[in-house]
Each structure stands twice: as C-alpha cells, then as structure tokens.
Structure 1
Amino acid sequence: MSTGNMITFFLTLVSYIVYNTLVFCQTLPPSTGRQGEWHLLHASIGISAMHMQVLHDNKLIMFDRTDFGQSNLSLPNGLCRYDSQDTALEIDCTAHSVLYDIDTNTFRPLMVQTDTWCSSGAVLPNGTFIQIGGFNDGDHVVRSFTPCIDEYCDWIEFPNYLIERRWYASNQILPNGRIIIVGGRRQFNYEFYPQMYSSSLGLFRLSFLAETSDQSENNLYPFLHLLPDGNLFVFANTRSILLDYNNNRVLKEYPRIPGNDPRNYPSSGSSVLLPLDENLPNVVAEIMVCGGAPQDGFSRAAHGSYGQALSTCGRLNVSDENPTWVMEDMPIARVMGDMLLLPTGDVLIINGARQGTAGWEKGHAPVRAPVLYRLSQPPNGRFSFMATSPKPRLYHSSAVLVPDGRVIVGGSNPHMYYNFTGIEFPTDLSLEAFSPPYLAEQYGVVRPRILTQNEVLGYGEFSALVFTVPEYFSIKFLSVRLIAPSFTTHSFSMNQRMVVLKLIGATRVAPNTFEVTVRGPSTAEIAPQGYYMLFVVHAEIPSSGVWVKVQ
C-alpha cells in the first residue's frame, strides 16, 4: 500500500483516538456486528447453570444445586447420589454439574454429592478449582476439581473442612496462593483455604459485615477485590473498607456509595476492578459498582410489588488519598446483572431484570439486551446497547468470558425447584454465546493472531510473543493483556481482574508478522500467581486468548 493510500485509509477510519486507542471503522459492519451477536449453543445442558468457572484446559465447569429435584441429565454408568439430608430427593440418579468443552461444544455430566447452592469458588495457582460451601449438608464442604486429559476427572469432596458455615460467601485468591473466604449468611467473619488452623484460631471476626447487615441481609456475596498494595477491598450493602487480612485490621473506610441503596444480594448489583495498567507510572486501582435494588425492594417483591431497579453506577478510585464516588447512569435500570471485563478493557453488563430483586419469584421485566461500557469514551457516551437475546436470564443465571472472546451465558431458575410449565419464566437449561462487536468479520484486517508465546510469565521478567496482523499494523494501537478467569454466580464474578502488561517494544520479523516484548506483572499483588488468558489487542480488536501461567 502506498503512503498516500495509507493516509487515506486512516482518515476513513473516522479514527476517534482517545488515550492512544483506536476503533477500526473503515467499513461499518451490519447492525448485528456493531451490537454483537447471539448464538444458541445447546437448547439444554440438563442443568441450570447457576455457577460457572473457566478452566485452563478450555473447559467450563457449571453446576446448580443438588436439591432442585431431578435434572434433565442422567449420571453415567448407573451412578446415583444417596443423601438422607436432601430436601428434594434422597436418591437422585441425575447430574447437577457438567463439564463443557469450549472447543468442541460438547459436555458431560459430573457427580457432586453435597449441596452446592449459593456457594463460591476460586482457582489455585496449579489450576485446581476449589469450590466452597453451599447449603444444608454442603455448607461446611470444600470440593476440588483438577483438570485432566481423560474423561474421568470429577469432583472430590472434603466434608466438614470449613470452620464456619459458608452460604452466600465470597472468595478471593491472594498473592500467596491462598483463598480468603469472606462472609455468608449470618457469618460476620472470614477464614482461609488452605486452613492455617482447623479450629477457631483460623477464624477472624469482621464487624463490618455485622454492621452492614439488615433485615433482608443485603450484604451477602460481598464484593471483594484484591488491590495492588495487597490489601482487600470489601464492599457490603452501601459501605466499603480496606482490609489488611494478614493482621485482621480495617485500614480505612471509604465514603458510602451515593443513594444509600444496597448493591449486594438480594439487591444484587455487580462490581468489577477496572483494568490495572502497568504502562502507567503508578498502577491505578478503580472499583466500579453498577445496578442493584432500592432499600425496600426485597420486602416489596415479597408482596408482589416489583419496584424499579437501580440505574446508577459508581466508580471509586481507591488509589486516591481521599477517593470519592463518581456516579453515572446506565441507559436502563438493572438488577441481577453480571459485569464482565472484555479483552478490550471495556465492561459488559449482561443478564438481569428491570424490576424486583434476586430471590424466588422476586424479579420481573427481564433485560435481554446487554450494555457495553467503554472506558475510553467521554462520560456521556460510554454506554451502548448490544444485541438482544431471545432468552430472559433472571435469578440464578451466570456469564463468563472464554478465551475466544465470546461470553458464555446460561442458567435462570427463579423457582425453588425445576419448573418448566405454566409459569412466566420457566427454568432455563440452555447455553448461549454472546459475541461482542469486536468478533465481527469486518475487523479481521486488524485482528491479531498469536503464533508463539511463552507458557510461563515470570514476575518482572521480559517475555516475547509472535503474532500476525493481516494489514495496517501500528504499535501505537497495540496492547497485551492478562485476564484472570472468573468464578461467576449471583451477579458477581469472583477473582476477575485484568492486567495490561508493560509494553517494551515490537519488531517486524516477517511480512505481517511481529514480535512484541512485554514485562511480566511486577508483583503477585497485581497479578496473583496462576493461569491467565493472554490477549493481544490491536486497534481495539483482540486476538483469541492463549493460556499462560504467571509465577
């Protein structure tokens, strides 16, 4: 391409450049491309995907609860679950967990014995998924799932491992590889996995959780975010603190989020830690909280009155010495929405309802269209509607980002048991994929494709990766990003984080082929050790992700 043609091309991009990023728009894609696309993966996977975790072998583990009754998926080889404490069935020969293969779009049943309802989880540095607590006979149980190359790996359960009952607790992987387990119903404390002590010595009281609890207990599933200084941001109801969990000290309390309306379950807003950029002189940590329900939303819904959900989002720059909430309005009110970081650094808000709260039959007016929040845009232009899903996703729905850049969505069961007929919102066993706009075919000319990369990324170490871009490459519009795979349930994606790696330089090694050098994360506080999806992003179009291990 001649120099003149190159200039013409970049002019026709409409090239809005904000903070050194570029959106490729030489030829606008059709409406479905600009707003993303939905694809049905399976009309039924046999269970309702209440909980989801992406694993580093490109598998997605999903489960609901054992006391829903019989699922629509049989356990293999005549297996049955025998449980005298089950509130629905003492003998159940159906599965309540599945392992989904992202690459082949196939799934197989898994065997879980104790009740996983409203549980939590995190992935250890070695890739083993640790799943914590639940209801009834599962509330003190820890379960593990280790990926394997055959078809025989399954859940392993450790009864009575937890010191306290953990139902609606939240988890966060820590810099030392341990998991902190915070809260749960009537649990105003935290503990760790692996345990430091198996007695009360391993239990730490957190009065903040008691102070923020109300009659409808709007502090369940507290929002946890590990900050770059190694301390823990904890948000419950309307308040938030900085917790030094090593010394069991609250270092500071942040201002209340404006409006005084609760954001945690059952009001069920959502929260993300915005991308941590190591190219800045100092890494900035900013929390975003969106949606929820008014103070009286749960009690009103219990009497059949579905109040309007919240439409506000708040951003809190916790790196500031005296941070204050900066509020914005979503284009539509939403409760029970999931907030997911996309490889571009934008935030997708998906699933949920305009009215009511979480809980049995307490949500109404489903919001089927996700919205995209673009960080690089000015305040009045950050939100845009995406394509509408044909399916409502209400209470007990989930969504996760997978390495090819899609968002897998499943679940929705606002009933005490599986219920498919004679009701407005039947139990949903389907699995869908939402393809964000960056996956539109028209963006192929600037889409990177990773050819080689180091499988291990050391802290502070230089690492090279080779990728191709079909045309129009510019290092000015290049970034390399890590995304930690999240455990998603009840509108909160635990352990979700993005780190924008320090870019050292890029060179052309062949036609349309480039080698870029990046520096690994500077500390385990910024990126706890473990498996991450690595994306090369060029002109705001990401490559497919590849798995790397940070250690």
Structure 2
Amino acid sequence: MHAYAVQTLPRRLSFDSSSDSISVASSLPLARNLRLYRCDGELFAMGVIDILNYCVSSVYFMYDSAWEEYSLGKLSALREISLAAEIRAAGVQAMTALYMGFFIYSCPKMRYKGDYAPSYLADPETYIWFPLEICLPLLEKNRYACFSQPDHSSAQPSTSMEIDEPPQLSDHILSKVHLVSGIQDNKIAVIPVDKSPYWNIDEIRRAILGCIAGLGEALAQEIIFYLGFTSMKLLLPPLFLVPATFAATAGSFENVGDTLVSAMMMFLGSNDKVYIMDKAEGNAAQVNGHAAWGSVWDIATQKTAVMDILTNTFCSSGLHLPNGSFVTFGGNGGAGPGGSEGSLVYPGGGSASWDVTYQDFDGAKSIRLLNPCDSSQDFSSPECQWFDNPAVLSMQAKRWYSSAEALANGTIAIIGGFINGGYILRNYPNDNPYAGAELTYEFFPSNGQPPQGLDFLASKICVFVLLFLNFIALSFLPIVTLPIDTVLGRCSYKQMFLPVPIWNYDANTLTPLPDMPHNVVRVYPASGASAMLPMTPANNYSQTIIFCGGSDMPDEAWGNFSYPYINTWDYPASKDCQRITPEPADGSAPQYVQDDDLLEGRSMGQFIILPDGKLLVVNGALNGTAGFGHRNLLTDEDQMPFGQSFASGPVGTPAIYDPEAPAGSRWSNAGLATSPLARLYHSSALLLPDASVLVAGSNPNLDVNISSNVPYPTQYTAEKFYPPYFSASTRPAPSGMPSKLTYGGSSFDITVPASSYSGSGNDIAANTAITVVRGGWTTHGMNMGQRYMQLKNTYTVNKDGSIVLHVAQMHPNPNLFQPGPAMLFVVVNGVPSNGTHVIIGSGAIEQQPTAVEAALPDNVLSSASGSAPSSSTDSGTGTGGSKGHSSASTSHVALTAVITGAVGVALLAFGVGF
C-alpha cells in the first residue's frame, strides 16, 4: 500500500470505534461515528464517518503530521471499506459502498480516491453514478465535465453551477461570522469574515455569502470558515466548517505581539481594538517626527499601530462615556530624556510646557477624547484619532495621578491629584502639608463651578496620608459608586490615617468606615489589588469590595517626596485580603471581614473580573512597592540592585479567586502557567471579548531602558492569558444577543443551540448565566469603572435541544452599573461565549431612563439533550487545534465546484466478490 518495505511499517495498529465487530444486522448504528487510530497505544489519527442505510460515508480524517509519509488517507479508506464489508457480511445487504465525498481531479491529494475499484462518480446534472474509467477522459480535458451528456462538458467553468447573486447581509451579522486568520503553535486566530483581506476577492466573498445563506444566519454564527492554502496561494474557498471551540491552552500565556509603546494604560475601545498609552518617553516607535506614547492593538491580527497624542499622559486617569467614547484626564508637565523637565520650563521652574526632544506638551490639565473605531473604518481619519488640545478642552486644575469615577447620569467625577510628582507627598520640615496636592474635585462635562474642596482630602488626618502615601485619597484612589449617589474612597489604615469614607458627591459629605485591619496599606505606592465583587440576583446586587495585598511597612519606612527610607525591595509584600460591604442591606454597621490570604504576598497585583464571576489576579511583586527612582535613603544610585525599581521578585504566576467558594478554599493557581516576563510598576491587564486577558506593560524606569543589564527593562511584549475555562472543548455560540441594554423594561430572548453543550438540556439551562462585564480603563494595577452584573433570567428547553433564555434588562438603578459600553456573555456551565459589545443606557449624559423590571415567564423543561461532544474539559485544542489534515464531507464543500471546476462525487462500490 505504501510502497515501503514491510519492516518499515508500524506493527501494532488498533482501531477504536463503537461500530467495530458488527455481528448481527440489528446492531447497525445509523449515526455519526468517531474512529480512533493508534499505533502501540499512541493515538496518531482520528476520523468521523456517518453510517447510513446504503453506505459508510467519510466525513473527515485528521492525523499527526509526523505520520504523513505513511499515506494515512489510504489506510483510513481501506479501514472504512472493511467496515462497510463487515456490516454487509453481518446481514445488511443494502450496504454496498463507501461514499468518499468530493473528487477534485485537479487536486493531487484527492487522486488516491481513484485508486480503488470499482469506483463511481455522480453525474453533476442527473446524479446518476458512472464508472470512474468513463469519467476520467472527460475530467482530463474539461474544467466542467458532464458524464451523462458529454457535449455539455466545457473547458470553461460551468455557468449552470454558478452561485446565485449572494444575499446582502448587515455588518452586524457579518461581524459574528468568523474566518480563520492564522494557525500557529496549535492555536487558531479568527477574524470576522468581512475583516479578512480575502473579503475583497469576489469569488471568495460570494462563496461565503452563499454558504451563510444556505446555513442560515443563526447556524453560520456557530461555524468557523477556513481557507486552505498551498505555498501561500489560494487553493480552495471556504472548506472546513468546524464547531466554535476554544483554540488555546487553558492556564497558559501566549505572546501576542509588540505594543510599540509600554502599556502603562489600556482600554478596550471596540470588539476588535485595544488602545494603549504610555508616558512621554523615548520609545523607538515614531509618529509625526517624535517618539510615540500612544498606540492601538488589533485583537484579530495582533498588529499594533502608533497614534499621536500631543500632551504628556504620564499617570493619567480615564474612563468611558455613555456613548462608548473614552476620555483621559491630566498627566504631567512636558518631559524630556531621562525623565527630566522639558526644555521649555515655566517661569519659576518645577514644570515645563513643552520639550524639544520628545515634543510633548504639558498634560497636567488635559482632557483627551477618543471615539473608538473598528477595523471597517478608515483609521487614518481624524474621527478615529485622539482629540488632545488643552486650549480647547481642559480641566480647571492640574491633576497628576487623579481618580475618575462615572456617576449614574454618565458624568465623570475627577478627584484629587498631584500638582507635581514624587514618591509620597511628604517633605521635611513638614511646614506646608498641602504643598503639591490638588485637594479638590470637578466634573466632566463641567458643571460650570470651580473645583470644590473635598472634606476628607483637606482634613489634617488625610493630608498626612497624602504626605505619607502620596496623594492617594485624591489620586488613583480606588473609588466605587454606591447605590444612592455616593462614592466609596479609601486613604489607608489605623487611627493616624483616615479610614475608608463614603462620599456623598451631591452634598459633599462623608461617612467614615472602619479602619483597615492589620496596618496594611492598599493605595499607591503599596498598590494592593482591589475590585468590586460580582453583583448577582443571588446576592441582591449588593456591592462588596475586596482588597488584597499591598504593604504593611511602618510609617518611617515610607520616607518622603523623593524616595523611601528603607530598601523596599527587601520588604515582603502583604498576603492579607479583606472584604467590606459599605452599605449592608440589613442596615447594620459595615465591618471588614477577613478573607482568605493570597497564595503569596503581592504588591502591584491587579484584579480582573472574569465572565464566570471569578476574579483573576495578575502581575506584581513579592517584595517592595510601586514607584522608581535613582536611589533611596540607604542605597546610592550605583548600588541599586534592581535598577531604578523599588520592587523585586516578579510574581509571574496568576491566581484565581472564587468569591462563592467556602472560606479557606477561595484561591487557586493549579494548572496556571508562569509568565517569564516581569510585570511590575506601570503594568496593565484587561479582559478581552474572547474571555482571555491581555497582559502588557511594565517599566520601572525613569525613561525607556531595554538594556540587557537592567533587571526589569521596559516591556513591549503583550501576552494573552487563557483562564481555566479554555479547557472546554465547546464554547457557547448564542444568537439573539442585543447591542443595547436598558435600565429595566422589556425582557429579551437569547438562544443557545444544542451544539453548544452536551448532556441534559434542563441541567444546562439551570446552570447558564447571562453576565455583563465592563473591563474598565486600566492603569497602575487597577481598572477604573470595572463592573460585573448578572442579569435575571428564566428559560425554555426546546425539543431540539436548543435553549431559549428569557432575560431581564439591567437593574433599574443606574448607580449600580453606570451607563456606557460593556460586554455581554452567556456562560454555560462555567464556560463563556464570546462577548458582545453593548451600550448600557441611553448613550447620552443625562438622567438615565428607567422602567419597571419585566416579569419573566416560568421555566419550561424538556427531555432534550445537547449535541456537542460529551467532553467539555479536554486540552482545549478541539478539532481546529489538532495537528493534521482534514477531508470534509460533501455538505461542507458544496461551494468548491464554483471555483475549482472538474469536480465529481466519488463512490466506491463493492459486490459479493469484495
């Protein structure tokens, strides 16, 4: 068979299938059948066949490329012929053939189908079977061959087989139908079909559109189309249609390109773009004649393009707007090489308006706006670029390291900030405790009033915190909007520091909360992780905040404006975690609740809320704090052991926190890989629409430093982290996902097809959640605006196994989840769908319209089951991620005749003498 000597062939072949060893005719399984091929116990190939009344039908066959020399296509064909013969011998006399699918005469890899006898091809006009030997001369001469009426054959493509004029589909539908854009390292990247560079090829576009029309819009969204290539030239149109699966290894990190600027700040602007900002520094990437400090990363292609920003964005804050736009606030003065003041210094010094080398303007008052564009738009147009002109739009006060929090009407509160920067806001002698701090707040859009003093920022106690812990109550303050026009803020610990307050922003009044336990500082530069836990129907949408990590360094260790007074890199970070619900539903006094410790101490860690309601913590250090400098009180510049970093011991292994697990078992890092890249000061992380997490940045240096002599250089490599749910072999592919959500009002339906799950439909429906996740605007280990809300739902399980989810709108209190962009996920048994971009609310800055929550129908049960493979926790590679080759069934390649020509349908028949 292989033209090799017998001794070169594998000796112990085995074939696993539920249909093997057919003994009686009644046992014939008329169904799809998986066949596994092993050698000496090692799986090297797999195939799928359909056992039909009259034939065995080949669907596809895949094998490890290491076995390519053994002509495994022939082996599989012989084995399937043998199976058909066994079924016939068992008494099924109608079983007369092996149906081998399409026969493309011009494709050398399909020629083997003609090596068996007797073989037959179906006539394309009458569907009558003709012996192969009669067909071959016509196939040799013609691109279109008709066997019943040879005069219909043509050397040109047959017009009778042309696809009808393809349907016109909306951009919304096309954005949900995906095409493989690349395969590398056993992983598949996909892109919406209309974003593919081949979409402009008329034959391919028409073929895909025709296939979508044949499948129907709902089913087409569950399919990934694949274009086969040989030597980088198009060989076939869409050929392989495979169920939507995860194409990545659970728990792993994957390098996904160069960010061009170090990712100090990031946000998801649309379903296919992540926007990145750095401080003004010496990045090699250039834009308009100067070093770039802005870029945009394309999720599908993993390519990055620079963007021009005029002002220095160093340590800005930022947030979304109700219409899906984004805005950033403040930054630093014009900066030059090495972190120096810019060349054009203001009178009196201390800051610069511009620098001749980096060409960055003073960003301390800047308000920068961006309307995110997607891949279908002209990205070079001004509408897709940053608007950054302080002469036209700016804040009233300078704010470096400010905080931003959205309010219920979409307005943004901009709180505090530094006037100029340092390690902490404390100098000696301490005769002017307010120096350098901006102890006010203002709003965007402006309410027409000057910046207002914020009581707890100007209090003696908290000013000491500002001096001691760097302005944090007023800048990069993890603040959370609470249900009744109030905001949660925090300063630090113990009686010498102001406890976490609740701020009523309408009345500018404060309600203090208890002291932070164990003297642990969570704010910059201790930089613990903090997040709001998921708001769900089960917890009555309560708002509980978790704080983890940071530092319990003593007061004197924090030093002053210039640097710390100890070698911070030797001081272990805290493991401590605390929860607090600031406004308990029962009216009781709020209290901190001791939670499970982190698995290791971590400063600069960052919480990312995942679609399944768990929290991922990434990045950070075992020792020390955020910040950088030339030296500290004890160690001169030339003796600094970790360059300019005040931290050491990068924590490369993420961990996952389950808020619903019993105390003592909430943290785990089992099965999670360790990234080799240090993610320390100025790192960032963000949830992506495919439910992976983008991790980027790290630059504990005053300016770009990529020297091999630096322990923690400027980092440009971006990574994707794939949470444990990427082990599922099938992911949900819901239809009917809305693009807008309202605060209360009419419910809507989402359909989960049977192909999205296995097992009992009733059990799956009862374990399906619809979740809304906002990743937020991320910088310095926090995600401003990050939220998670589970929507209420009931369900109907249909007889065909599909599940219709009847879903309520957002909770009718906009204070809980402020208006603007988010992602909508359907989570089936802990496995999320791809996220759908939605706008919550009216899209305008206004009092948001609200309505009474709609009553949902009762659940409807059925005995139906899902049709997905029974295993949902395999390696995650699935069909698309396996190495090898595939031959598709006829329904999967029905469009190939349009482009390739000379196509027949092969049937291998056998008789009594077989």
Q: Distance in 1 between matches of 2:406 and 2:682?
A: 23
Determine which of 193, 200, 205 is the counterpart of 2:444.
193
For normalisation by structure 2, the TM-score amounts to 0.52
| Residue 534 of structure 2, aligned match among 260, 268, 275 | 275
- Matched pairs, number: 493
Indicate the residue corresponding to 1:549 in structure 2. Answer: 839
Q: Deviations over 1:85-114 (max 9, x none)?
A: xxxxxxxx2211111111222221100011
Q: Mapping of 1:244-393 within 5 angstroms?
A: 244-250=504-510, 252-280=511-539, 282-296=540-554, 298-299=558-559, 303-306=566-569, 307-320=571-584, 321-327=588-594, 328-360=596-628, 361-385=645-669, 386-393=672-679
1:40 aligns with 2:300: no
Match of 1:62 among 276, 281, 288: 276
Could you tell me which residue of structure 1 aligns to residue 719 of structure 2?
432
- Label 1:261 to 1:347 Cα distance change in 2 as closer, same or farther (>3 A): same
Summarize the Cα distance change of 1:368–1:334 in structure 2 as closer, same or farther, 3 Å threshold: same
Which residue number corresponds to residue 171 of structure 1?
A: 404
Code of the residue aligned with 2:542 in structure 1: it is V
Note the alpha carbon deviations across 1:162-187, whole angstroms, 9 max, x for none: 11111111111111010111121212
1:150 partnered with 2:378: yes
* CA distance 1:203–1:58, change in 2 (3 Å): farther
Compare the two structures and name the one with the higher helix fraction. 2
Letter in 1 for 2:734: I
Correspondent of 1:400 among 686, 695, 705: 686
**1:39 is paired with a residue of what secondary structure?**
strand
Change (3 A) 1:470 1:539: closer
Structure 2 counterpart of 1:242: 502
**Bigger strand share:** 1
Contact kept? 1:39, 1:432, Cα under 8 Å: yes
The whole-number CA distance in structure 2 between the counterparts of 1:488 and 1:33 is 25
1:183–1:209: 8 Å Cα contact kept in structure 2? no
The CA deviation string for residues 176-200 of structure 1, in whole angstroms up to 9 with x for no partner, is 0101111212122211100011x52
- Runs (4+) of structure 1 exceeding 6 A deviation are none
For residues 181 and 426 of structure 1, the distance between their equivalents in structure 2, rounded to whole angstroms, comes to 32
Q: Quote the Cα distance in structure 2 between the aligned partners of 1:350 and 1:452.
A: 33
Deviation digits for residues 325-365 of structure 1, max 9, x if unmatched? 11231110000011111111111110000101001110111
After TM superposition, give the deviation of residue 493 of structure 1 in Å.
0.7
The worse-fitting range, judged by mean Cα deviation, of 469-478 and 525-534 is: 469-478
Task: Tell me the equivalent position of 2:245.
Answer: none
- Equivalents in 1 of 2:304, 2:518: separation in Å? 44
Q: For the Cα contact (< 8 Å) 2:528–2:550, is it kept in 1?
A: yes
Q: What is the Cα deviation at residue 532 of structure 1?
A: 1.1
CA distance in structure 2 between the aligned counterparts of 1:174 and 1:108, rounded to whole angstroms:
33
Which position in structure 1 is the counterpart of 2:317? 120
1:463 aligns with 2:739: no
Please list the CA deviations of residues 364-403 of structure 1 after superposition, one character each: whole Å capped at 9, or x if unmatched.
Answer: 1111111110112111111112321111101111000111
2:854 is matched with which residue? Answer: none
Q: Which residue of 2 aligns with 1:6?
A: none
Structure-1-length-normalised TM-score? 0.86
State the alpha-carbon separation in 2 of the partners of residues 229 and 216 from structure 1.
29
CA contact 1:178–1:194 (8 Å) conserved in 2: yes
Which residue identity is paired with 2:590?
P
Alignment of 1:413 with 2:671, yes or no, is: no
Residue equivalent to 1:72: 284
Give the Cα separation in 2 of the matches to 1:346 and 1:227. 21
Q: Paired residue for 1:520, among 809, 813, 817?
A: 809
Contact kept in structure 1, 2:768 and 2:826, CA below 8 Å:
yes
TM-superposed deviation, 1:283:
2.4
Q: Percent identity?
A: 30
The whole-number CA distance in structure 1 between the counterparts of 2:478 and 2:264 is: 18
The residue type equivalent to 1:39 in the other structure is E
* Aligned residue identity for 1:138: G
Q: Is the CA contact (8 Å cut-off) linking 1:218 and 1:263 kept in structure 2?
A: no
Q: Give ranges in structure 2 of 5+ residues lacking alignment.
A: 1-247, 334-361, 419-436, 494-498, 629-644, 842-914
Q: Give the superposition deviation at 1:419.
A: 0.6
One-letter amino acid of the structure 2 residue matched with residue 375 of structure 1: P
Q: Which amino acid aligns with 2:274?
A: L
**Any stretches of 5+ residues in structure 1 without a counterpart?**
1-31, 81-92
SS of residue paired to 1:380:
coil
Larger Rg: 2
Instruction: Please name the residue that 1:134 is paired with.
Output: 331
**Residue 302 to residue 54, structure 1, CA distance change in 2 (3 Å):** farther
What CA distance in whole angstroms lies between the structure 1 residues aligned with 2:446 and 2:564?
40
Superposed CA deviations along residues 109-158 of structure 1, whole A, max 9, x for unmatched, are 10001100000101101111101100111010000111232212111013
Is 1:452–1:467's contact at 8 Å kept on the other side of the alignment?
Answer: no
Change (3 A) 1:467 1:206: farther
8 A contact 1:191–1:204 mirrored in 2? no
